[in-house]
């Protein structure tokens, strides 16, 4: 199994181009199921999760063609309406086929995702919303068995803010009869990106980006050409790395307007930022100052950035208090960072991070995607060698991470 070896303790310097957003590409790929016309995408990142989504759609009969960052999906002939356990267990976002399959074909059989390393992550809100739109849903042998005639528009008040839940229901509502109003909807930029793609396909959606989304169902959707938005979490990860390790880094092809909470915390940590229309430059000299934060749904501080900021706090001047409010078990990286010499005390879902003068390289293990990213940031600032195990997590969500960091002068390599 591949590992990542980092010899840390050097500042980062140079320019990196941001990839397309994983968490926008995945729902947008699933939206191809809503139409019998080709959906042509650009800026699709080369990631393990994107490959898994391609495989999932492929085994349903979708013709998937890929050429660099371009991907064409053609769901004219669907031969199976099943998302099997083998694929869903490797990628929970597979549940995003549920809404589109049900809306277009009136049936879907999707494996229940089951447990997850970062928290329970149920999908009850997806199910509840589809039931409100007239679907009959049962759980049988670990599968969500869903059936419906044409879905009917409904007013759905979600119990909590869920990103993929909002996306699933928005896609289903696009082909439903009548108007659907999603209240307490997720405001994440990826939801907006999906709504834009659906609009390009002919859907009638208002309010994406606010907590009330109104979808007027249409009889059919067309194909479209659509460019996936830049990855705000990848962008934030590079910025956090530069803030922790020091140096000057410029990110291009980014969407700075989706990163307000992250940029505010970086400024608080003492970073100098120059924000352009689609670029962000960061300059950091000296030790960062500790920052305290609470994760929250967008536009709050992203849970997907929490681990990277814990690494920053680990070497910062002062004490930072980090509270995770989205997932109940998303602090596993803290224990690994302790192996690098970080001074972190966990109390429930809060971490108290006392900055130390230096971290020291060690062998650590990645437990999930963003935990891995946090360990990479910590490895970049640690003196000596850090060896990160289980980096397949990293490959799920970061395109060519070691190449991009290498281009910034980091000593980082993949080893068998």
Is there binding between residue 157 and ligand EPZ (CB under 6 A)? no
- Residue 196 tokens, joined: 């834009």
Q: Which of 219, 216, 232, 193 is nearest to 41 (CA)?
A: 193
What is the nearest approach in angstroms of ligand EPZ to the Cβ of residue 307? 9
Residues 233-262 close enough to bind ligand EPZ by CB under 6 A: none
Q: How far is it, in rounded angstroms, from Cα 412 to Cα 401?
A: 9
- Long-range contacts of the stretch 201-210 (C-beta < 8 A, 24+): 201/31, 201/34, 201/35, 201/39, 201/174, 203/174, 204/174, 205/170, 205/174, 208/170, 210/185
Is there binding between residue 120 and ligand EPZ (CB under 6 A)? yes
Is there binding between residue 171 and ligand EPZ (CB under 6 A)? no
Among 19, 23, 94, 180, binds ligand EPZ (CB under 6 A): 23
What is the nearest approach in angstroms of ligand EPZ to the Cβ of residue 296? 9
Residues 81-110 close enough to bind ligand EPZ by CB under 6 A: 92-93
Per-residue x/- track, 24-53, ligand EPZ (CB under 6 A): --x---------------------------
Nearer to ligand EPZ, 93 or 271 (CB): 93
Whether 30 is catalytic: no
Is there binding between residue 156 and ligand EPZ (CB under 6 A)? no
**What does the angle CA 47 – CA 52 – CA 56 come to, to the nearest 5 degrees?**
150
Cβ-proximal residues to 141 (8 Å cutoff; 6+ apart), any chain: none
Catalytic residue among 116, 137, 289, 387: 116
Per-residue x/- track, 318-347, ligand EPZ (CB under 6 A): --------xx--------------------
Per-residue x/- track, 394-413, ligand EPZ (CB under 6 A): ---x----------------
Q: Per CB under 6 A, which region of 10-18, 102-110, 161-169, 244-252 contacts ligand EPZ?
A: 161-169
Cβ-proximal residues to 196 (8 Å cutoff; 6+ apart), any chain: 208, 226
Q: Per CB under 6 A, which region of 6-14, 97-105, 123-131, 202-210 contacts ligand EPZ?
A: 123-131
Nearer to ligand EPZ, 47 or 362 (CB): 47
Q: Per CB under 6 A, which region of 62-70, 76-84, 115-123, 277-285 contacts ligand EPZ?
A: 115-123
Q: Tokens 């990160």 label which residue?
A: 388
- Residue 42 tokens, joined: 């650009």
Q: Does the bond joining 299 to the residue before it have cis omega, within 30 degrees of 0?
A: yes
Q: Per CB under 6 A, which region of 13-21, 57-65, 122-130, 171-179 contacts ligand EPZ?
A: 122-130
Is there binding between residue 160 and ligand EPZ (CB under 6 A)? yes
CA R_g for the chain: 21
Q: How far is it, in rounded angstroms, from Cα 275 to Cα 49?
A: 30
Among 74, 231, 304, 336, binds ligand EPZ (CB under 6 A): 304
- Residue 176 tokens, joined: 């439903």
Nearer to ligand EPZ, 121 or 265 (CB): 121
Q: Which of 103, 108, 105, 109 is nearest to 151 (CA)?
A: 103
Cβ-proximal residues to 57 (8 Å cutoff; 6+ apart), any chain: 29, 30, 32, 33, 64, 73, 75, 97
Is there binding between residue 130 and ligand EPZ (CB under 6 A)? no
Q: How far is it, in rounded angstroms, from Cα 128 to Cα 157?
A: 10
Is there binding between residue 193 and ligand EPZ (CB under 6 A)? no
Helix, strand, or coil here: 318? coil
Which residues would be at the binding site for ligand EPZ (CB under 6 A)? 22-23, 26, 92-93, 119-126, 160, 162-165, 190, 303-304, 326-327, 369-370, 397
Catalytic residue set: 116
């Amino acid at each position: 199994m591949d590992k990542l070896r980092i010899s840390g303790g050097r500042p980062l310097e140079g320019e990196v181009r941001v990839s397309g957003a994983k968490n926008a590409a995945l729902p947008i790929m699933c939206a191809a199921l809503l139409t019998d016309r080709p959906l042509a995408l650009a800026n699709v990142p080369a990631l393990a999760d994107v490959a898994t989504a391609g495989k999932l759609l492929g085994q349903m009969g979708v013709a998937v063609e890929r050429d660099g960052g371009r991907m064409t999906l053609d769901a004219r002939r669907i031969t199976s309406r099943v998302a099997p356990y083998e694929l869903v267990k490797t990628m929970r976002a597979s549940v995003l086929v549920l809404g589109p399959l049900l809306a277009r074909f009136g049936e879907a059989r999707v494996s229940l995702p089951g447990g997850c390393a970062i928290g329970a992550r149920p999908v009850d809100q997806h199910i509840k919303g589809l039931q409100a739109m007239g679907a009959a849903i049962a759980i049988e042998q670990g599968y969500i068995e869903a059936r419906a005639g044409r879905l009917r528009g409904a007013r759905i008040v979600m119990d909590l803010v869920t990103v993929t839940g909002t996306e699933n229901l928005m896609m289903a509502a696009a082909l439903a009869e009548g108007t659907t109003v999603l209240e307490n909807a997720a405001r994440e930029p990826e939801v907006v990106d999906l709504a834009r793609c659906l609009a390009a396909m002919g859907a009638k959606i208002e309010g994406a980006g606010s907590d009330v989304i109104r979808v007027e169902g249409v009889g059919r959707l067309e194909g479209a050409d659509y460019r996936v938005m830049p990855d705000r979490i990848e962008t934030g990860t590079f910025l956090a790395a530069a803030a922790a390790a020091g140096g000057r880094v410029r990110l291009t092809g980014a969407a700075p307007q989706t990163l307000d909470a992250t940029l505010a915390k970086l400024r608080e940590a003492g970073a100098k930022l120059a924000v352009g229309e689609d670029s962000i430059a960061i300059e950091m000299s000296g030790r960062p100052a500790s920052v305290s934060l609470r994760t929250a749904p967008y536009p709050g501080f992203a849970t997907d950035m929490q681990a990277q900021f814990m690494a920053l706090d680990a070497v910062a001047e002062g004490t930072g208090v980090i509270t995770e409010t989205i997932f109940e078990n998303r602090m596993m990286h803290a224990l690994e960072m302790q192996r690098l010499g970080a001074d972190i005390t966990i109390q429930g879902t809060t971490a108290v991070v006392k900055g130390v003068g230096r971290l020291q390289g060690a062998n650590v293990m990645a437990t999930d995607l963003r935990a891995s990213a946090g360990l990479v940031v910590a490895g970049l600032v640690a003196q000596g060698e850090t060896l990160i195990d289980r980096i397949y997590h990293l490959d799920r969500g970061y395109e060519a991470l070691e190449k991009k960091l290498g281009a910034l002068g980091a000593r980082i390599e993949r080893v068998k």
